[in-house]
């Protein structure tokens, strides 16, 4: 017996309403109207675009980072943007703001707890162990640059996605490494035109700190009523954080607080003195800052932060920070003691400082108005007039580009005036002009943009001529 064929369910007649809906959906007028009312998409809160007008400066920071890292013989590393969440919990400390409040943590499809990296150090330390870098000649000096994520309250200079230039020296405990790292961070900012102020302190070993914390907690309890609500909670949870609270009341209450430096072991004191002596040798100015403790648990001995404009009032105004972390690698699985130190500089904050400086320098001048919108600058600009000239220009630019000469151009523009205006915006010193006549003669005009003086040269000699003019 053949199975009974199921008859297909009879199609319901379309209701009048549905037909009308379909008609409406197809109507271009309605679709247009709907498109108009559709909400446009915004960036995720606290995450910013870099737009072309900022692109030049952004890339200059990357170039400066690479250049300084290579000059100090650092190798480049890249670690994944995600790591097991536990790596950060173990490294940065359970009670820290970053781990407790700011980490983006989620479960992947296999149920593993993953975190978007809130900083580089833990991932780089993990990578050093995973790749057996202990067997390489020590120390291993590495640098990296890239995005990090902290779910903080966004405001100027504090974002949920931000970028750092980060350097680590792993496998060496010597004050000279710390001094060299500090000088590198200082010189990176100086190369970009920023004068940094270095705030420095030592927080000793874990043991030194335990004794100090007992003393500090006693002091904080005696001043409890003067502290802000946050700091009242911190007394038992993370008393060191009270030291860098920015609330005026807390700062006043801390005036007579015991200073960590007095609790350092003789070895840590000597170590710190040597770091300072090396900095003196390098003529790098610093400010001894007894309340500087940093917000991550892995630090031991030297800690430092970099500021511009002497800005200390707000915690977010530190452009960078770092220090020694001699216990971290063992804590996350290294088979032997592996001392290390490093720093990171926040690139968004550097960019804010550079913009502020540029604005101050430009006050009263109209330089900004005459600049290319994407900040593109080219010493030479190729302008053309007429269809034949455009074709010839296309070929000439291509051959110059192949020989390593970059030129500005706007091939779609017909007007010579508009093209020369663009050349001005690109700060070109010379324009190469090709018109109908020059196409026939096999020549071009080279125009000095400042004096307006023009000379005619053979098209075959452009490259040679431009090389002579090159800055």
Whether 298 has a binding-site annotation, put simply, is yes
Residue 212, annotated as binding a ligand: no
DSSP 49: P
Q: Report helix angle 52-71 to 347-362, nearest 10.
A: 120
| Residue 435 binds ligand HAM, judged by CB under 6 A | no
CB of 135 to ligand HAM, least distance (A): 22
Handedness of CA 384, 387, 392, 394 (dihedral sign): positive
Which residue's CB is nearer to ligand HAM, number 128 or number 380?
128
301-360 residues in contact with ligand HAM (CB under 6 A) are: 318-323, 325, 342-344, 346, 348-349
168 touches ligand HAM (CB under 6 A):
yes
**Beta carbon of residue 391, minimum distance to ligand HAM (angstroms, whole number):** 49
Q: What minimum distance in Å lies between the beta carbon of 27 and ligand HAM?
A: 47
User: If 0-12 CB within 10 Å is exposed, 13-18 middle and 19+ buried, where does residue 181 land?
Assistant: buried
Written as six digits, the tokens of 42 are 């915004």
Whose structure tokens read 């009270």? 242
Nearer to ligand HAM by Cβ, of 204 and 320: the residue is 320
Which secondary structure element, helix H or strand E, spans residue 181, and what is its range? helix 175-191
* 15 carries a ligand binding annotation: no
Contact 161/248 with Cβ under 8 angstroms? no
Query: Would you say 190 and 196 are in contact if contact means Cβ atoms under 8 Å apart?
Result: yes
Using rule CB under 6 A, residue 74 touches ligand HAM:
no
226 is in an annotated binding site: no
Tell which residue, 261, 275, 76, 63, has the closest CA to residue 183: 275
Stretch that binds ligand HAM, among 34-42, 156-164, 369-377, 386-394 (CB under 6 A): 156-164
Ligand-binding annotation for 119, yes or no, is yes
Identity of the residue, 185 or 220, whose beta carbon is nearer to ligand HAM in the bound complex = 185
Applying the rule CB under 6 A, the residues between 101 and 140 that interact with ligand HAM are: 119-121
Q: Is 121 annotated as a binding residue?
A: yes
Using DSSP, state whether 33 is helix, strand or coil. helix
CB nearer to ligand HAM: give 184 or 432: 184
Helix (H) or strand (E) holding 431: strand 430-434
Would you say 199 or 349 has its CB closer to ligand HAM? 349
| Residue selected from 90, 158, 209, 223 as contacting ligand HAM according to rule CB under 6 A | 158
**Contact, 429 vs 450, CB < 8 A?**
yes
- Residue that has been written with the tokens 């690139």 in this structure: 347
- Contact with ligand HAM (CB under 6 A) among 90, 126, 141, 150: 150
DSSP string for 328-381: HHHHTT-SS---EEEEEEEHHHHHHHHHHHHHHHHTT--TGGGS-TT----SEE
| Assigned token pair, 145 | 């640059």
Q: How far is the CB of 316 from ligand HAM (least distance, A)?
A: 7
User: Which segments are annotated as binding site for L-histidine?
Assistant: 119-121, 150, 164, 168, 294, 298-299
Binding-site residues, please? Answer: 119-121, 150, 164, 168, 294, 298-299
Sites of contact with ligand HAM (CB under 6 A): 119-121, 150, 152, 158-159, 162, 164, 166, 168, 318-323, 325, 342-344, 346, 348-349
């Amino acid at each position: 017996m053949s199975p009974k064929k199921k008859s297909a369910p009879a199609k319901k007649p379309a209701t009048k309403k549905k037909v009308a809906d379909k008609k409406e959906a197809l109507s271009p007028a309605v679709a247009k109207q709907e498109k108009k009312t559709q909400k446009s998409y915004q960036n995720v809160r606290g995450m910013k675009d870099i737009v072309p007008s900022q692109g030049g400066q952004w890339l200059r920071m990357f170039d400066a980072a690479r250049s300084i890292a290579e000059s100090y013989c650092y190798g480049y590393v890249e670690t994944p943007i995600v790591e097991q969440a536990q790596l950060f919990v173990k490294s940065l400390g359970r009670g820290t703001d970053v781990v407790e409040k700011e980490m983006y943590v989620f479960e992947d499809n296999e149920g593993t707890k993953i975190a978007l990296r809130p900083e580089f150090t833990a991932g780089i330390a993990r990578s050093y162990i995973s790749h057996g870098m202990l067997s390489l000649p020590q120390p291993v000096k590495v640098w990296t640059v890239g995005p990090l994520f902290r779910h903080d309250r966004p405001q100027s200079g504090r974002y949920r996605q931000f970028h750092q230039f980060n350097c680590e020296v792993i496998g060496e405990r010597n004050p000279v490494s710390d001094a060299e790292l500090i000088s590198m961070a200082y010189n990176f900012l100086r190369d970009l035109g920023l004068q940094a102020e270095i705030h420095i302190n030592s927080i000793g070993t874990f043991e030194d700190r335990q004794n100090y914390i007992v003393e500090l907690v006693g002091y904080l309890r005696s001043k409890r009523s003067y502290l802000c609500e946050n700091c009242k909670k911190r007394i038992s949870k993370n008393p060191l954080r009270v030291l860098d609270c920015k609330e005026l009341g807390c700062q006043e209450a801390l005036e007579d607080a015991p200073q960590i430096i007095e609790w350092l072991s003789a070895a840590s004191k000597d170590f710190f003195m040597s770091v300072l002596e090396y900095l003196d040798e390098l003529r790098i100015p610093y400010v001894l800052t007894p309340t500087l403790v940093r917000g991550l648990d892995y630090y031991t001995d030297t800690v430092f932060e970099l500021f511009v404009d002497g800005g200390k009032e707000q915690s977010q105004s530190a452009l960078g920070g770092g220090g020694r972390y001699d216990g971290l690698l063992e804590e996350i699985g290294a088979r032997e003691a592996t001392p290390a130190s490093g720093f990171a500089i926040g690139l968004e904050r550097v960019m804010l400082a550079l913009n502020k400086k540029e604005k101050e320098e430009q006050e009263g001048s109209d330089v900004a108005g005459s600049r290319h919108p994407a900040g593109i600058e080219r010493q030479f600009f190729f302008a053309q007039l007429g269809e034949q000239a455009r074709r010839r220009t296309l070929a000439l630019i291509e051959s110059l580009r192949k020989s390593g000469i970059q030129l500005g151009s706007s091939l779609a523009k017909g007007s010579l005036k508009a093209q020369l205006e663009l050349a001005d915006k690109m700060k070109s010193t010379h324009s190469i002009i090709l018109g109908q006549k020059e196409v026939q003669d096999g020549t071009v005009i080279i125009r000095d943009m400042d004096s307006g003086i023009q000379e005619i040269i053979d098209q075959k000699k452009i490259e040679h001529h431009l090389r002579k003019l090159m800055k």
